[in-house]
Structure 1
């Protein structure tokens, strides 16, 4: 008999998967990045059924093991594609070339075919009783499975490493594009990756310990609980989360930029050279700067222009101010503005706007007329926490400390 607690957890997992996957598949018609998330959840749901099928439906366990084994090798690539789509600066698409990431599926499917044609007593010895096998073909099968599990571990480790690297680059990219990054930084993804790594490691240790030591090193309930947390968190946040960098229609922005640049005589050729901005992308700034025609004198003019418009029009008061909005107002390529900020003013767009906001907030804090939260919202911040962090970074003091320090003068 299966553990009732584990059975209850599995049923919750299956329910979550059955609710989430159809929704994601329907959304995937318009937003393709939802498809790999649906595959990831579906594969997890199938894998979670192992102990339930083994105890309640033993006659179906041969087919289940043959179907579930390849699902392991769907997890890593599917999770990577979802994160890639979530952090992309343009609508993500699935290409034939990307299928190479699923290369481990081919040997996994061959092993599945071997499992299907195993005599029932050998299948029972390997997958249920987990006993010793002496048949040469069975030994080859067991060794092949263990090798594939090690390859799966390598694939998962590499995938998680790539995800961490991708998230770090994405968060830096946000600071080059938006002045407020709340609900875009994907902080929940850090916890999810940690849970995923823990779940996969627990599962692998349980498999190897049961085969090599004929006992479980970790309680199988822990694995089930981690699986539930993994699937619930990704299903919950995945259904709510939208790509953080795709805020506008790229083609519309490019047309607006082209018309603005054509009507601007001050920028001469500097705007026309990059008005298309490579389909609105600002992700590969370092590489673009190497080929940029922007000179020092032009960069200084752009710096003066954006500082002047921030001073006169107080654009920083707009909590949703973005690089594209600023570029549209000054009729200069977003890439040129970003390059000017990074190379001439030595800061990203996020810090540039917050510098103006903190400057405006200082006078209000010294006047001591409003609460810190009200001041934060008035100068363009979306949250008290982000205001405190930016204020401390700029002044070395919290708003309260700054107010007390000024009152003593």
Structure 2
């Protein structure tokens, strides 16, 4: 009999998915990036039904197991497509080259067909009673399942690596165009990756311990709880998340032609092996085709420093590269090139340096809270102010003030 707590958690998972998937499919008409997320949740829903089917519909368990088995091999590709889409600089699109990510799905479907047409007593002996059978068909099937599961594990590890690499590059991209990234960095995916890895490890440990040692090293309740957290996190945050760079590029027309030169360099490409729409190719040498001379870059550097000092643009918490470009009437890619090559800073760090300089006298005066000071000089959060302040000065605001007080004495 299935643990009632495991059953409850499974039902909650299925309910969350039944609520989320229709919403995502409706939104997919406007943004196709919702499709991979819907597919990921649907596949998890199919797998989460196992306790329900085995307990209340045992006669349908063979059909269910055959249909649900391929869902396992949809998880990694669909999660990758979703992360790829929300971090892309261009609208993500479906295309035929993406089919290679589902390479393990086709042998999985073949195995599921064999599972479906197994004699019922043989299916029960293998997948429910865990009996040892020595006939050639059973041995071939079990070896095939073992091999494809190991390949799936390798695919999961590779997908996690690609997601982490993608997020690192994406966050660096944000610093080239935004001065505040608190709500754009997709930090919730870090939590998602931790939960996903933990859930998979618990699942594998449970599977192998039950198969090899006839006991469970880990409680199935823990595994189910982790899976519920995974699904809830992805459904909750995924329904709210928008592709920030895509919207930024579309809004500001950064792909238009200016001075007979593409300005798409303004947003750096994310390194990727995929040459397809919605992903970014390998990064070219920055500004290699730029017509900007050293003298021009020096003048631009002086101009943007002047507007920062005189117009105090850094006080605008929503300041972006495009806003600065509009204010000084200079191409965004020229400003980006000047910041990187002449001032040796990305846009994010350049603006925050001005904010920190504006905050220093306020910190010394000690008349307002750190949060108030942070908001006054253009930061959106206390944590981001602390991080930027320590990066710039090597000290926290309180340490900085105390050191100056000691020096004055």
TM-score, scaled to structure 1: 0.91
CA shift, 1:286, in A, is 5.5
Which residue in the other structure is 2:3 paired with?
A: 3
TM-superposition CA deviations, 1:27-82 (whole Å, max 9, x none): 11111111111111111111112122112211101110111110000000000011
- Alignment check: 8 A CA contact 2:325 2:332 kept: yes
Give the RMSD, CA atoms, in angstroms: 2.0
Aligned to 1:16: 16
More divergent stretch after superposition (236-245 vs 363-372): 363-372
Is the Cα–Cα contact under 8 Å of residues 265 and 286 in structure 2 kept in the other structure? no
**Offset, 1:251:** 6.4
Q: Name the SS for the 1:29 alignment partner.
A: coil
Residue 394 of structure 1: aligned partner: 392
Give me the whole-angstrom Cα distance separating, in 1, the residues matched to 2:126 and 2:264: 56
Cα distance in 2 for partners of 1:368, 1:251 equals 40
Match of 1:313 among 311, 316, 333: 311
Compare 291-300 and 371-380 and name the one that shifted more. Answer: 291-300
Whole-Å separation in 2 of the counterparts to 1:86 and 1:318:
26
| Paired residues for 1:9-408 under 5 Å | 9-248=9-248, 250=250, 253-254=253-254, 272-274=259-261, 276-278=262-264, 281-283=267-269, 287-407=285-405
TM-score relative to the length of structure 2 = 0.91
How many Å separate the matches in 2 of 1:96 and 1:280?
29
* CA 1:251–1:375: 2 relative to 1, 3 Å: closer
Distance 1:363 1:208 in 2: 61
User: CA 1:73–1:387 in structure 2 vs 1: closer, same or farther (change >3 Å)?
Assistant: same
> How far apart are the structure 1 equivalents of 2:398 and 2:303?
34
Of residues 353-362 and 392-401 in structure 1, the stretch that sits farther from structure 2 once superposed is: 392-401
Cα contact 1:54–1:128 (8 A) shared by 2: no
Q: Could you tell me how far apart the structure 1 residues matched to 2:253 and 2:325 are?
A: 10
8 Å Cα contact 2:303/2:328 also seen in 1:
yes
Describe the shift of the 1:207–1:402 C-alpha distance in structure 2 as closer, same or farther (beyond 3 A): closer
| 1:41–1:241 CA distance, 2 compared to 1 (3 A) | same
Q: CA deviation at 1:280?
A: 6.3
CA contact (8 A) 1:253 1:280 kept: no
Structure 1: gaps (5+ residues): 259-270
1:273 deviation in Å?
A: 4.0
Question: Where do 5+ consecutive residues of structure 2 fail to align?
Answer: 271-282
* Other structure's SS at 2:287 match: helix
* Contact 1:87/1:167 (8 A) holds in 2: yes
Instruction: Give the SS at the match of 2:244.
Output: coil
Tell me how far apart the structure 2 counterparts of residues 298 and 7 of structure 1 sit (CA, whole Å): 68
